Amino acid sequence: MGHPLINAYAGLLSRAGVCALMRTLDSQIAYYDPATDPAFPVGQRPRIYIFWHEYILLPFYVRGRCNLSMLLSQHRDADVLDQAARLSGFDVVRGSSRRGGVAALRRLLDRGELQHLAITPDGPRGPRRKMAQGAVYLASKLQMPLVLLGFGFDRPWRVRSWDRFAVPRPGSRARVVVSPEISVPADLQREGQEHYRLRIESLLNRLTCEAEAWASSGQHMPGQYSLLPGPVQPWQMRRFRPARVCPAPAAEDCSQEADAA
């Protein structure tokens, strides 16, 4: 593990670089339900937000100071990200979603303020765009709804890493498609968790492909909004309306089919 001062300095530089790059992007967002965005402070309840590891730069920039806590690996590779996330206004929980994750989340909820949790369900080691059961396990155990975030950049540079980490080109397009809430039944056993995992993985891939195609085309999406760093003030919420980006009721089908299984 690196020296704390070195990690802090590296985190500061990383945050500054990410912010400088992200400010150049044309960033747009479309919702199934705008109320699920953690940037809106009115009527929020704790949720688990999941997105693929390769796109972590965008939520890192736009959703700091939005009552979110990131679940980061205990591996030393995440020490710099830990510092950068804290500087950006996130709380941080260290540990995997299985190993110590529930206990860490309970400590977080016991602090007195209700917080959301952000998880990259294919991190920290992959395989790419394959969801581990951890997020479903937490949603079932703690009865927190899941919200899926599909991200896309226009022709990003790709790092030669397990996740093909995406770095947007300066001045390019970034797009986000946000699912409605997905409720997971309490105390699911392993078979039930696996059923939900497969369905949610499929939907997250679908939303991600939708966002990537949207970013690539540059077309106007009915109901799209400029994606700005949060939080959004209550009086600004009047302009936000739902937009059906994918064939509707993708998320509802996910829950209904799982309930029938």
Q: Which two tokens stand for residue 230?
A: 């949060």
Q: Which two tokens stand for residue 90?
A: 């996130």
Taking only the tens place, the pLDDT of each residue in 86-139 is 777 788 877 655 555 556 656 545 543 578 888 899 977 889 999 998 889 888
Q: What is the mean pLDDT of the chain?
A: 80
Q: Which fold has domain 4-19+26-260?
A: Glycerol-3-phosphate (1)-acyltransferase (3.40.1130)
Residue that is written with structure tokens 């206004």 in the block: 89
What pTM, to 2 d.p., does this model score?
0.84
Compute CA distances 33 → 82, 178, 217, whole Å.
Answer: 30, 8, 23
Closest to 221 (Cα-Cα) out of 260, 176, 183, 190: 176
Taking only the tens place, the pLDDT of each residue in 177-193 is 999 999 999 989 999 99
Query: CB–CB of 124/162 below 8 Å?
Result: no
Residue that is written with structure tokens 């059923």 in the block: 195
Residue 178 backbone phi and psi in degrees, to 5: -110, 125
> Could you tell me the pLDDT band of residue 74, with boundaries at 50, 70 and 90?
low
Taking only the tens place, the pLDDT of each residue in 1-12 is 466 676 666 667
Q: What is the pLDDT of residue 89?
A: 78
Residue 42, Cβ density class (10 Å: 0-12 exposed, 13-18 middle, ≥19 buried): exposed
Instruction: Give the residue ranges of DSSP H helices in 110-189.
Output: 134-142
For the chain, the structural domain boundaries read 4-19+26-260
